[in-house]
Amino acid sequence: MIIVFVLLFLFLNTVDKRKWLTGLISLTLTPFAYFYMFYPFVNIVSNYHHQKYFNSEAWVEKPALRYEMIDHTIESDTLIGATKEEIENLLGKNEWLTWDDEKKDHNQDKWNYGLGIEPGAFNDNVDCVEITFVKNQVFSLKPFQQKITYEKNEKE
């Protein structure tokens, strides 16, 4: 708020040179400028989001907010060593499988889940995570991003 006050004071000082008046007006306008202009702008431009601990129920019920849980899940190795059955119980059925070019088929040991879209003004990617299994146990979790694509509805 101090930055907003100083900027308002400097701006208003160009309009009127009376310091007491520009100080009083700046002091009055600072909360309004901060909460209605500066703070919303910072929230739109920045991509900060809340971090949450892994919760199986929230993962299944709110798939658009999974990005809030994935960072802690990867850092804490929460899912490492879990079997495919345990992962299916915790996360639900895999949403898609990674394509294996060598086999020309889906890789049954690489499951993918969508994590939702992180808020932000310039974000045009959807976050995803790839879970790799080795010998039926989770070996690694790899987050990645995909471009958001929209399907066209063509009317005939």
Which of 47-56, 79-88, 113-122 is the most confident on average?
79-88
Contacts of 94 (CB under 8 A, 6+ apart): 88, 111, 112, 113, 131
Share of the chain above pLDDT 90, in %: 40
pLDDT at 110: 94
- The pLDDT value recorded for residue 48 is 65
pLDDT band at 150 (very low <50, low <70, confident <90, very high): confident
Q: Model confidence over 69-88: pLDDT tens digits?
A: 998 888 888 899 999 999 99
* Local confidence band at 148 (pLDDT 50, 70, 90 cut-offs): confident
Instruction: Determine contact, residues 126/66, Cβ cutoff 8 Å.
Output: no
Residue-level pLDDT at 138? 94
- What is this structure's pTM? 0.68
Domains plus CATH for the chain? 2-45 (no CATH), 56-147 (3.30.1450)
Token pair of 72, please? 């802690």
